[in-house]
Structures are given as structure tokens and as C-alpha cells.
Structure 1
């Protein structure tokens, strides 16, 4: 598989004050896909503007033609499979089959308690995630008149109908974010793609070489999970969401720095690198001219 370059556009701008033009520019620059976070708020952006992922992607679908669109990532923190499935089928239809669902177990941030619940333990998050993904798979795949009925420990559905189903068959692709054994098994079972941000334990004090070794270990564990299910890991896309590794700032400092970074991760088996659209005065600050140069020139150098 060749290496693709994508971007993630955080939904902090009003649509008519830079939001719309950013998504259009992403398509003009030739990105493979443009994703957005599916959060109610996020870290340092908590006390500022932040818009919903599904309406944002719906609007983006209406002003683009070829750009793939998606979440990176959606989680069970505030989503329910039955209602989410209906929104995803609608998005897939509006976009003409250009939606990818990035999906993960969720964390302990603001989303985890925004609905008034107590934070879930890591085990409970993993339990919910497993049930969430399997039910969502059914809801998006089984589009018959009888609907989908299910009663689980955390989620339920009763004759939930999703006619006519997804444009993409048998359903829109899942990109499953995971690093632990249970998550990697879900990625191997349900994922068109696997997503990682690296090893969070290395974020503050790790080295780039340690990060590469950690990512190599993750890809090997994914291969083992695929093999256990009789699946060839080479048939899966492997997506690296950048900005969370020890050398997080360096790749966007120059075209050469990015090509070096992306090339080392391509050699690990990654097929898609996702870079954050620059946001001034944030963790994702970067020179927009360099960012655009990377978008236009790096893919050819990495072929």
C-alpha cells in the first residue's frame, strides 16, 4: 500500500468565519481525507468555540467532491449506537459514500462526565467499547425491514431500522483506534483500518527512537490479533495520527523533516499519516506555508 496524507480539522471556527474555507482548501491541497474530532469539548479548547462533528461533516460533504471525510475519533462517551448509526447512514448518503468512522474507547476528558455520569473505569470503557462496536456493525450492515434487536449489558436496540443502509457496502469503513489487546482484537475483527497516536507514556520524556520502537511493537501485536482471526494484517490500513509522539513538533517544521518522519513510519507499515491543520497559539501551531508545501509535495516524495 502507498502512503497517503490526510489532515484533521478541529471544529473551533464558525462555519462562515474560516470553517467552510478550511475544508475546501483541504480538498484543493489534495489530502486523501479530512477528519475532525468528535468531542463535546477538548482540552485547552474547552472554554472557547467548539462545534459538533456530525453537523460539521455534513456541511463539509456539501462543499467538497472527492475528499474523504470522517471522525478521528468517535467514542461511547456520549454516543449511543442506534442514534449514531442513523446519523452515519445519512452522512454516507449526503457525501456520496465518502465517510470513514474513526472510533475509539474514549478517555477521561470532559466528554466522560458531560452527561452527568461518573467516569468509567478502564475496564468498563473497554467493555462498553466492545459492545458498542459490535452493535454498530450490525446496525450499519443489517438494513432489512425487520430491523436490529439487541439486549446487552450496556446498550439495547429494538427493531432499529436503517433502510436503505450505507452507500458503501457492506457498510462504511471503521478505523478503530486501539493499543491494548481487547481493542486490537476489535480492530482486527471490525476495522478497515487501525489508528494509533503512539505510546502516550513517551509523550513527555520519550525519544523519537523509543516511539518508533513502541509503534513497531503495536503493529506486531495488531498482526498477531489479525492472525488469530485468520486475517492478513497487510489488508488493513494503518493510520498514525500525529501530534502526540515525542517529536510531535518537528515533522511540520519543514518539508524535509516531514518526509523523514513519514518515511520512517511508512517503513513500519503505516499507510496513512494524519497531520493537524495549524491552529495559532495552540499545541498544533505551525507555519501554514510549510504545512501547505508538505500537503502538495510530500506525497510524491514518499511514493
Structure 2
């Protein structure tokens, strides 16, 4: 099982670069960042752009993979996003993974002055966004007219360093999203069942994740794809366990082992942020980074 981290873009780069370097020194498989304009309790504090942050992170790291967790159509367009991703993949030497999801109803949904999209409209846009982005990252010139997005002779030369394109880690739990994972994803991302976060139990969460994984397998089977070829990524911190797995190495290994048994191949833990939902003892966090992967092989 791989262990990765997510570093929220809340630090001025003089400080932030130290964190990204440290993440690589600790041996994390990947370091991701949120692709939002602002987010929940961090809305009134510093929050920097994901793509410039990842570009800077690429310049101070050498081995660790980098990516978004996740990008969404809320304020992105496939044509401009493709150009940024191709550039970022080149700058990083082919170390970029695009985490991508349908988006939600948070601040991103209204920051451009629009009304929040309904769940159906988000799903409709996502179903159009992902295939178009796939084409833009693999074809030299793309023209397309859809219900929500269009492209006219959009050029993306020379394409990605990673061939045929950089990998997609698609966040989804519903049938339409899981179909996109099965058709376009190199990885599947979930945070668990959000209805269990407040009052559910860790055991209920495991069963819910088992069910989600089963539905992914069904979606893959319907398209004739082997689900074992898709990486399965759990972004932690949103299950009923909350921050408990980061209280000790033993607690984390126990948590990770239960999810490894479900078929998850990568766990992503939040870099500690004091006085927040992601607060954790930094020494324990570093011990987990250094020692847990060996115990989970």
C-alpha cells in the first residue's frame, strides 16, 4: 500500500516549499493539494492557487508524484485546464496525477457569480468534462460542441510527458461517476460515505466502502475492464474515524490494514495544520510516514 499526503495551499511559498521538500524526504509516494478557490473553515485565511503551487512544488522536488485532489468543473474549463496540465507535466518531468471530481455546492460553486448547479447538472457536466479533457490531453487538435463545453481547433502540442496522457484519479461514488472511472480512470478516489461522518461507526464506514468498491467492480465489468487495473485511493479524514488514525503509529497501521483488506492501494493523509480539523502531532505524523509503509507491504 502506498502512503501519500495532501498539503493545503495555505502557506506563503517561503514556508510552503519547506513542507513540500519535507514530504519528499519522508518518502511519501505523492503529495497532492486541493484545487479550490477557498475551502470551508479556511475561507477567511490565506489560500493559494493549486496550479502555481504544484508548479513551484515541482521545482523543489525530484521524485515524489504531485497532483490535485481534486479538480472540478466548478471553475475550470477543459481547454484551459488541459494547457495548464500539459505544462505542469512537462515542468515536473512527468510526475503529475490529475485528481478530478464533479464538484459540490461550496464556495467554488458561486465564486464566478453563478447559481450552484443541481446534482444532476453537476453530473451532466462531469460526464462531458472528463471525456473532452481526455481528448485534449491525447490529441494534437480538438474540436467539439457539447451541451456545456466546446473546443475549436484547440491545440495541445507536444502533449503530456506521460503517454498517452497523465493519469486521471477520478473521485466518484454514484453510478455515472463510477462509469467515468471505469472508462477513463487510472485510479478511483473516495472519501467514504459522507452520511456516516457525524454519527456512523468505523465498522459501518468499512462496509460502505466495501459497497462502493463493489459498485466500481460492477461498472468495470460492464465495460469489459478488469477492476484490478485501477488504483484505489482513500482520502482520509472524512470517515467516522476522523483524526484518530494519526494519534499513533499502531492506530494508523490498524486503520490502514482494514482498508488494505478492501483493496485500497493508496491512503492519503493530511499534512498537520494546528487548530484545524487536520491537527495532528507532527512527530507522530512523521513516524507514520517513515514506518507505516513497511508494515503494510
Give 2:2's aligned residue: 4
Within 5 Å, give how 1:36-51 maps onto structure 2: 36-51=33-48
Shift of 1:248: 1.2
Equivalents in 1 of 2:116, 2:126: separation in Å? Answer: 14
Equivalents in 1 of 2:200, 2:42: separation in Å? Answer: 26
1:282 aligns with one of 273, 276, 279: 276
Structure 1 runs not aligned, ≥5 long? none
SS in 2 for 1:73: strand
SS in 2 for 1:209: helix
Shift of 1:294: 0.1
1:56 and 2:53 matched: yes
Shift of 1:249: 1.3
Equivalents in 2 of 1:248, 1:141: separation in Å? Answer: 39
Q: What are the superposed Cα offsets for residues 235-260 of structure 1, whole Å, 9 maximum, x if unpaired? A: 11000000000011110000000000
Shift of 1:234: 0.5
Divergent runs of 4+, >4 A: none
Equivalents in 2 of 1:44, 1:181: separation in Å? Answer: 30
Q: What are the superposed Cα offsets for residues 22-61 of structure 1, whole Å, 9 maximum, x if unpaired? A: 0000000000000000000000000000000000000000
1:152 and 2:146 matched: yes
Shift of 1:160: 0.2
SS in 2 for 1:123: helix
TM-score by length of 2: 1.00
Equivalents in 2 of 1:43, 1:26: separation in Å? Answer: 24
Shift of 1:193: 0.0
2:91 aligns with one of 85, 94, 108: 94
1:174 aligns with one of 148, 168, 171: 168
Give 2:259's aligned residue: 265
Shift of 1:283: 0.2
SS in 1 for 2:173: coil
Equivalents in 2 of 1:37, 1:262: separation in Å? Answer: 22
Structure 2 runs not aligned, ≥5 long? none
Equivalents in 1 of 2:243, 2:21: separation in Å? Answer: 25
SS in 1 for 2:268: strand
1:119 aligns with one of 96, 116, 128: 116
Equivalents in 2 of 1:239, 1:125: separation in Å? Answer: 22
TM-score by length of 1: 0.98
Give 2:11's aligned residue: 13
Give 1:250's aligned residue: 244
Equivalents in 2 of 1:99, 1:275: separation in Å? Answer: 18
Equivalents in 1 of 2:251, 2:219: separation in Å? Answer: 33
Equivalents in 1 of 2:175, 2:196: separation in Å? Answer: 19
Q: What are the superposed Cα offsets for residues 172-227 of structure 1, whole Å, 9 maximum, x if unpaired? A: 00000000000000011000000000000001000000000000000000000000
1:199 and 2:180 matched: no
Give 2:184's aligned residue: 190
Equivalents in 2 of 1:163, 1:119: separation in Å? Answer: 34
Equivalents in 2 of 1:139, 1:235: separation in Å? Answer: 23
